[in-house]
Structure 1
Amino acid sequence: MVQGFSREPGTHGPLIEVPPAGLRKIRMWAGAIAMGGFLFGFDTGVVSGALLYIRKDFDLNSFEQGSVVSVLLIGAVIGAMTSGKLAERIGRRPSLGLIGAVFIVGTIIVTAANGYPMLLAGRIVLGLAVGAASALVPVYLSEISPTSIRGRLLTLNQLLITTGILVAYLVNLVFASSGSWRSMFAVGAIPAALLVIASVWLLPESPQWLITHGRKQRAHEGIASVTDDATADRLVQRAEQRIADERAKQQRTAADQGNARKRLTAPDVRPALIVGLTLAAVQQFGGINTIIYYAPTIIQQTGLSASNSIFYSVAIGVINLVMTLVAIRLVDRVGRRPMVLVSLGLMAVSVFMLGLAFVVGMNSVLTLLFMVVYIAAFAGGLGPVFWTLIGEIFPPSVRAEGSSASTAVNWISNFVVSLAFLPLAGLLGQGETFWVFAAICVVAFFFVGRYVPETRGRDAEQIQEALQSRFGNTPETTHSEHARTR
């Protein structure tokens, strides 16, 4: 049921069959967990349309407009960095419920804001929840997913993120005529309440977490509810053995074995950390959220009105959602690595052309076309597959901390890009700024080609072997590095 629970003991054992009724239950749980991804998308996307009206109501300058967008990311960094420790301490399910409650509190503060400072405070609170959700959801999904459909369930997170963005754009469109930005934000309280309800009455705790904390009977019951008792017995036994092996390895590599953050830098985990942190930065420095956050503003600069800009941004949201659905269909067929490579190549070309459109003054139709191609390339590869990979590449003993660290870097990068975009575009020119993003996509293409392994159909042990091989490590060299760190 959890990653590694869907194979028989032995690294290359056969896949365990989960009956249709069990798969339906797992998919239902996954959909509820990924509601955290929906809120992530909604609260990062809704500001794009709301900003057109907030700046008039509160008379915001360009820096203040950028800070309304980017201050959420400060909260997100904090939320992402602390969520791993919280999820390890109290469990995945109660952590998700707490995140939903924080979403509600942040929404109330924003909708009641009477000025710029209170608006910033509400956005920071929303950011705490967004960051925590973005780190926890891939871990939780990974730990309830059979290997055979793990890729699809992990990309479900990105699907709900893109759905949240599209819904945010549609909500913006509905309230555009009245300019009621408070109503735009208030809609987010509905899915937040649903997330709290699901965490209390619907979701199970992660079997991986239960076994790690000595609650194997509850884990057995949860696994048996989607398989059978005999299968649950085998999977719990294997998980206990793997946990014991990992704890023994921690004792060999560091005296402070309980410190998961220090464990992340151990020689055998370091390749996963490098890949996770690099992809986290690339996903943002490739420029995606300059489009998501500022799509109406960018389109408005081509000569369209505010309401028309919001309308065309909905088209971008639709393409984002459709291509994410395509990615979900492909991720367990084509594989993670080729999807990311194709995605980065197309992103580089399309964002370069988008920059050229602004430099030479192409019409709004061509500008929108290049934006749509760029969004399609991102949503069909790097967007969803990044969240899949960070749920797969880290060993189970440090998966929550590894995901937390990668997500924190993702949000720090997001903050830097979103805050710097408008000032940088003013300094270099908007087209030239997009060319910087194109160059980053090219560099990322070569990094993925060299260092990122395929994870499709592989269990945790096989993925770690592939990572070590990509970084030129062997069991012997890794062991010698262990000895030097003792």
Structure 2
Amino acid sequence: MYQASNVYFICSFAAIGGGLFGFDISSMSGVLGTQAYKRYFGNPVSYRQGAITASMPAGSLVGSLVSSFIADKYSRKVALQISCLLWIFGSILMAASQNIGMLCTGRVICGLCVGIASSIVPVYQSEIAPKEIRGRVVSLQQWAITWGILIQFFIQFGAAQVGGGPSDPNQPESAFRIPWGIQMVPAFILLVGLFFFPYSPRWLASKDRWEEAIRVLASLHGDGDINHPKVLAQYQEIEEALRFEREQATSSFKALVAPRMLKRVALGMSIQMYYIVYIMEGAQIATPLATASIQYVINVVLTLPAIVFLDKWGRRPSLILGSFGMMTWLFISGALQQYYGQANTDLTRNADNSDITWIVLDNRPVSSAIVACSYLFVATFATTWGPVSWTYPAEIFPSKIRAKAVSLATASNWFWNMVLAFGVPPLLWNISYKMYYIFGAFNAAAFVHMALLAPETKGYTLEEMDEVFDSGLPAWKRYKKTSRLEELAREIEAGNLKVAIPLGGAAGTTAVANPEPIAATAEHEKTTHREVDMTSAPGPLSTGAPTEKPPATQAAL
């Protein structure tokens, strides 16, 4: 059966899972204002509408927490396929909803899908991609999210025009059933397409499926040649990392809360605590549809620079400059509203802004500046924290806990989504412009946090992250070290290191490597030509006494 081998194509296709996240974010925005929705579901407001809206992030929180168990046991690919089935089933329930209970059930099930997919897609992408382009391809997750938001928004806007339009009291139910039904299409495409995509080579290795792992590595990084130096070097590096993890003899849960790892877990979770602020109505400029659509377009377009350049300019500058920029726009917006706005009293209220407590009235330059700050906030987020918030957590953890740690990071995202879903409206109502100062302060804290604790990770393999975080260097000093992977590849290409790989299902085959540390020096290359076998019955990760090398299983340059 055909199996995709182009890394860009594989990671781009997997990012459809991120698109489902985007569909989720805007799955209600276009139907809330339609008469069909209000009439059919009894005009839900306040806590009832809050429960409908929050049911999906609640499901996503649970889905993200259980995602690691599915991904570690059944593979990253199968976990994504399970998430697709959940999305399809949940979308069917939503489209066929007869009451609020059925609608919430469908949204919870769709939320389970999004929780799993949003956790596992970055893990799958990071384990597939080489270090040189890992940031670029994992950033595709964020780009797919922005496209999902934009596409679903306009699908819902188009569907809202059925009958006499969104204000028609007799508008047909298709106004909300069409978009909720259409949203299952990308999940079906992803479900079927994944059958033609490889398993993660690192997951295969963790299950001792070494022959499959080396063939996937060869397909992805060596044009199918299992003797390619880079392929053999990656195989050797993965094997050594897994052996070390197993020698530690600690459970993945215990390793997750170990002091040296807890700092990374906290860092990954904090990066996922982002939010979106809506300012336009209070600024009293343009229309909600126009301003929201412009935001969505900005989000899509300005994520592209991050995809192209993230592996060049790095993760750390994006986190630091991004938090500083978002802090700046929030503080400016709050200040403009404070000094030029006014309470929305009975004298200034009208039917269009009766639910707003603070407005800037008849001051177009200030209103334009507030809206500009909102757009700049979105633009800053799109080029910095949006892509990095997926890339960084997916690459900083060792194989043993990667899926679990990323699931916790993503769960923090969904937890804060629920908190903000309930918290932002009353905050806007009760403290108005002061809310922007609060969120600006959070960004100021993020600026300090990232500057002090987030080291640069670009250019390192997943197996080298322990060295980066355990180097003892402060985060602002880059860990300078020749890539272990590149050293291995050079040694293999020069004939100084030979790697035995399992072919034909042969048992007891292992890596064959020089037991002494490899030094990338001319003297070493002249003198080191010894080969030592470490073959024993248990399999590739054994470290038994040297035995005779099985020649039929050796593949080396």
Give the match's secondary structure for 2:29.
helix
- Cα distance in 1 between the residues matched to 2:280 and 2:39: 18
Q: Which of the numbers 5, 16, 19 marks the counterpart of 1:35?
A: 16
- For residues 302-346 of structure 1, what are the alpha-carbon distances to aligned partners after superposition, in whole Å with 9 as ceiling and x for unaligned? 5579xx422321111110011111111221111101011111111
Q: Which residue of structure 2 aligns with residue 214 of structure 1? A: 208
- Cα distance in 2 between the residues matched to 1:221 and 1:345: 45
- For residues 165-219 of structure 1, what are the alpha-carbon distances to aligned partners after superposition, in whole Å with 9 as ceiling and x for unaligned? 111222233223234122222221110111111122x211100000110111111
Q: Does 1:464 align with 2:463?
A: no
- Cα distance in 2 between the residues matched to 1:66 and 1:299: 21
- Cα distance in 2 between the residues matched to 1:66 and 1:428: 20
What is the CA-CA distance between 1:92 and the residue it aligns to?
Answer: 1.1
Give the match's secondary structure for 2:90.
helix
Unpaired stretches in structure 1, ≥5 consecutive residues: 1-21, 252-256, 292-297, 473-486
Q: Which residue of structure 2 aligns with residue 370 of structure 1? A: 373
- For the pair shown, the structure with the greater C-alpha radius of gyration is 2
- Cα distance in 2 between the residues matched to 1:46 and 1:367: 27
- For residues 146-180 of structure 1, what are the alpha-carbon distances to aligned partners after superposition, in whole Å with 9 as ceiling and x for unaligned? 11101101111111111111112222332232341
Q: How does 1:161-172 map to 2 (within 5 A)?
A: 161-172=145-156
Q: Which of the numbers 212, 226, 230 marks the counterpart of 2:227?
A: 230
Q: Which residue of structure 2 aligns with residue 340 of structure 1? A: 319
Question: How many residue pairs align between the two structures?
Answer: 429
What is the CA-CA distance between 1:358 and the residue it aligns to?
Answer: 4.3
Q: Which of the numbers 194, 200, 213 marks the counterpart of 2:189?
A: 194
Q: How does 1:9-408 map to 2 (within 5 A)?
A: 25-53=6-34, 54-55=37-38, 57-58=40-41, 59-178=43-162, 179=166, 180-200=175-195, 202-226=196-220, 227=222, 228-231=225-228, 232-249=231-248, 251=249, 257=250, 259-281=251-273, 283=274, 287-288=275-276, 290-291=277-278, 299-300=280-281, 308-359=287-338, 360=341, 361-362=359-360, 363=364, 365-408=368-411
Contact 1:104/1:193 (<8 A) preserved:
yes
- For residues 65-103 of structure 1, what are the alpha-carbon distances to aligned partners after superposition, in whole Å with 9 as ceiling and x for unaligned? 222222211101100000001000011111111111111
Give the match's secondary structure for 1:51.
coil
Contact 1:451/1:467 (<8 A) preserved:
no
Contact 1:452/1:470 (<8 A) preserved:
no
Distance 1:319 1:461, change over 3 A: same
Q: Which region of structure 1 is more displaced relative to structure 2, 411-420 or 139-148?
A: 411-420
> What amino acid maps onto 1:66 in structure 2?
G
- Cα distance in 1 between the residues matched to 2:127 and 2:21: 20
- Cα distance in 2 between the residues matched to 1:356 and 1:188: 40
- Cα distance in 1 between the residues matched to 2:473 and 2:419: 30
Give the match's secondary structure for 2:259.
coil
- Cα distance in 1 between the residues matched to 2:285 and 2:327: 26
Task: Output the TM-score relative to the length of structure 2.
Answer: 0.73
Unpaired stretches in structure 2, ≥5 consecutive residues: 167-174, 342-358, 476-557
Distance 1:56 1:350, change over 3 A: farther
- Cα distance in 2 between the residues matched to 1:451 and 1:69: 35
> What amino acid maps onto 2:429 in structure 1?
G
Give the match's secondary structure for 1:114.
coil
> What amino acid maps onto 2:239 in structure 1?
E
What is the CA-CA distance between 1:301 and the residue it aligns to?
Answer: 5.4
> Percent identity over the alignment?
30
Q: Tell me how large the CA RMSD over aligned residues is.
A: 2.1
- Cα distance in 1 between the residues matched to 2:100 and 2:333: 33
Which structure features the higher share of helix residues? Answer: 1
- For residues 39-90 of structure 1, what are the alpha-carbon distances to aligned partners after superposition, in whole Å with 9 as ceiling and x for unaligned? 1111112322222234454311222222222221110110000000100001
Task: Output the TM-score relative to the length of structure 1.
Answer: 0.84
- Cα distance in 2 between the residues matched to 1:411 and 1:129: 13
Q: Which residue of structure 1 aligns with residue 490 of structure 2? A: none
